[in-house]
Amino acid sequence: MSYSFLRIVREALRGDRGWRPAWRDPAPKPHYDVVVVGGGGHGLATGYYLATEHGLANVAVLEKSWIGSGNAGRNTTIIRSNYLLAGNEPFYEHSMKLWEGLERDLNFNTMVSQRGVLNLFHSDAGRDAAARRGNAMRLHGVDAALLDEAAVRAMLPWLDFDGARFPITGGLLQRRGGTARHDAVVWGYARAADRRGVDIVQNCEVTGIRIAGGRVQGVETTRGFIGAAKVGLACAGNSSRVAALAGLRLPIESHVLQAFVSEAVKPLIDTVLTFGAGHFYISQSDKGGLVFGGDIDGYNSYAQRGNLPIVEDVAEACMALLPLAGRLRVLRSWGGIMDMSMDGSPIIDRTPVAGLYLNAGWCYGGFKATPASGWCFAHTIAHDAPHRLNAAMRLDRFASGALIDERGAGAQPNLH
């Protein structure tokens, strides 16, 4: 059943009785060519691209809860491709290009909104760093514009430009960046994968990984054993726990990141804005709420909720940037558990176990990566070899020294 304007009109005239569930609810089969563990954005996108790009339809995506119950449904929905390093930037730009065609591709309104991402700076050093990053992006064929103070004032006149401590002196703008509707991305990939024959099995937790002779045989689950020629792990936040089922110890710590939404107000911020003198990012949802966040809490956690010091920290950064927000009430806050890798960059790779593949370590930035992550992971699984775009995102880079450390902060996740 295709979605279209015509279809909405037709269903409306028939009392909306013709809509069907967007995906099936199949019982797991005894054996699949590929089992993907984790029904977040990345796992579902992997299932979709395995079917569409590699002709594999005997595929299941297993989710312990409901799809999108993890980070995919908890993030602040920012999409961008403004990375500095060559190991990252072409990958994220591929993701941006997939975002640009995603709604047509999936036949689903994922509400991709290229409203721009503006990273402010507040000093000469900040301007130099922004210029360097912008140049690196342009060398990779990605759009970047360095704005002076006057140009930022014209865009967002109500920011605190003249604060004595962090005066705003300009910003780096990626106009093609923006936001997308996180839940719709999950549902869109699920529906499109399902239509191509991929089984999406919810309430099915993987509790063991069966290995014989160094090769994966399948997974033990709360719904019984499921055989598989290949198994791909996409369990953001819980990667260490699931990989441990195969005897792997990962370069990852799980940390909690909080997010906040204010009461709805009239249109105020028509871009995505980040503070350059602290970690703070904000945008406005179509319902009018300001959606914002900052740093991780900074200690290992699987609790999906954070503590008050970060609430204070985020509120302070918010007030330093846009004092008018002080009159707004926060409606909701929540937390999600993310894999923090030891260099701040992700892993999409094979593992020492034959037939077992790993997609992990997304840190703060895995939502924007969803399309390319699924695309590259599907390629890596189908060909048993990474694609050029994820070739640097290796599991063994911590041993070889070929790290992808955008921040240069070292193996200390709460500094990334």
Residues of this chain that interact with other proteins (CB under 8 A) are 238, 240-241, 249-254, 298-303, 307-309, 312, 342, 398-399, 411-414
Least spacing, CB of residue 2 vs ligand FAD, in Å = 25
User: For residue 130, what is the DSSP state?
Assistant: H
Residue 282 CA to chain centroid, in angstroms? 16
The listed partner (ligand FAD, other proteins, none) that binds 92, CB under 5 to 8 Å by sort, is none
The listed partner (ligand FAD, other proteins, none) that binds 368, CB under 5 to 8 Å by sort, is ligand FAD
Interaction site with ligand FAD (CB under 6 A): 37-43, 62-65, 69-72, 74-78, 205-206, 234-238, 242, 257-259, 293, 336, 338, 362, 364-368
Q: Which is nearer to other proteins, 186 or 252 (CB)?
A: 252
Contact 282, 262 (CB under 8 A): no
**Tokens of residue 277, six digits:** 């003198």
Across 57-142, where does the E strand assignment appear? Answer: 59-62, 78-79, 117-121
How far CA 129 is from CA of 11, 86, 174, 300, 309, in Å, comes to: 53, 16, 15, 30, 29
Least spacing, CB of residue 61 vs other proteins, in Å = 22
The listed partner (other proteins, ligand FAD, none) that binds 411, CB under 5 to 8 Å by sort, is other proteins
Q: Which is nearer to ligand FAD, 61 or 325 (CB)?
A: 61
b/e sequence 118-132, b meaning 16+ C-beta within 10 Å: bbbbbeeebbebbee
Q: What is the CA radius of gyration of the chain?
A: 21
**Tokens of residue 43, six digits:** 């796992």
Least spacing, CB of residue 168 vs ligand FAD, in Å = 22
**Tokens of residue 10, six digits:** 């037709």
The listed partner (other proteins, ligand FAD, none) that binds 257, CB under 5 to 8 Å by sort, is ligand FAD
The listed partner (other proteins, ligand FAD, none) that binds 252, CB under 5 to 8 Å by sort, is other proteins
Q: Which is nearer to other proteins, 211 or 395 (CB)?
A: 395
Strands 117-121 vs 170-174: parallel, antiparallel or unpaired: antiparallel
Q: Which is nearer to ligand FAD, 209 or 395 (CB)?
A: 209
Q: Which is nearer to other proteins, 107 or 300 (CB)?
A: 300
Among residues 240, 291, 166, 241, which one has the least CA distance to residue 413?
240
